[in-house]
Amino acid sequence: MLNRTKLLWRALPLAFATLFASSALAFAEPAAAPPALDSAAVDVQPQWTAYGFHITAPTDMWPMLEMLHAYHFDWELYSAQDRPTPLTWAPLPNGVYGQYVPSKNILKLSSMLQNESTELATAFLAHELTHLTDDINGKLGDMTGDACYGAETRAFVNEANFWEMVNGATGKVTSDWLEQQENNKMFAFVGNSNFADLVLRTTPSYIKQCGTGN
């Protein structure tokens, strides 16, 4: 088995070059109080009700919710239930694989992930559900500056931790380039939240999203 330190240092040069080509620009719209959902409209959409949860999501997302439960991410599932926040597939812009939109109280995953492995799509879902949880707990602020970078750091670290839990410390043996990038995130970010914060603060897309910090 390869030493984890060697794997980490192998991943560092790749983190800046490839990491955020596959990341979500989560805060696409200004924050606002989430609108009230029409309960009748919600009830006609597919509902995942396993283990006592009640989450609005298409049926082909249900294996992802099962996986989050299996790996003890119930705290994220409770967030989607307690708001409640519908989960949906959407044709997101190129390079954006997930999006939490507070002003519309909706969480979107890129439709292209329907052709990827369940564990990869679930990793992106874990990222976006971290934003939802932060929003419920009042940690997003106005989604600029340090609050924004902190939220993205927590989301990427949770995403990386999930990937390691599923695939182990050496990552997944794969030829899929998105899964290879997920390995890189894991090598770089698990146990290294300060490094995740540094990468975010020096990545143009996140400087544009979050600003220069407080």
At 75-108, the pLDDT tens digits run 999 999 999 999 999 999 988 999 999 989 999 9
Q: Which pLDDT value is given to residue 19?
A: 52
pLDDT for 20 equals 52
Place of tokens 């949880």: 133
Q: What is the pLDDT of residue 38?
A: 45
Average pLDDT for 165-170:
98
Asked if 53 and 77 count as a contact pair (C-beta separation under 8 A), the reply is: yes
Q: How far apart are CA 87 and CA 56, in angstroms?
A: 6
pLDDT at 22: 46
Q: Of residues 9 and 116, which shows the higher confidence score? A: 116
Report pLDDT for 6.
Answer: 43
Report pLDDT for 139. 93
pTM, two decimals, is: 0.84
* Average pLDDT over the chain, rounded to an integer: 84
List phi, psi (to 5°) of 160: -65, -40
What percent of the chain clears pLDDT 90, i.e. is strictly above it? 68
Residue-by-residue DSSP string for the chain? ---HHHHHHHHHHHHHHHGGGS------S---PPPPP-HHHHHTS-EE-GGG--EE--GGGHHHHHHHHHTT-HHHHHHHHHTT--EEEE-PPTT--EEEEGGGTEEEEEGGGGGS-HHHHHHHHHHHHHHHHHHHTT--TTS-HHHHHHHHHHHHHHHHHHHHHHH-TT------HHHHHHHHHHHHHTT-HHHHHHHHHT-HHHHHHH-S--
- pLDDT value of residue 28: 42
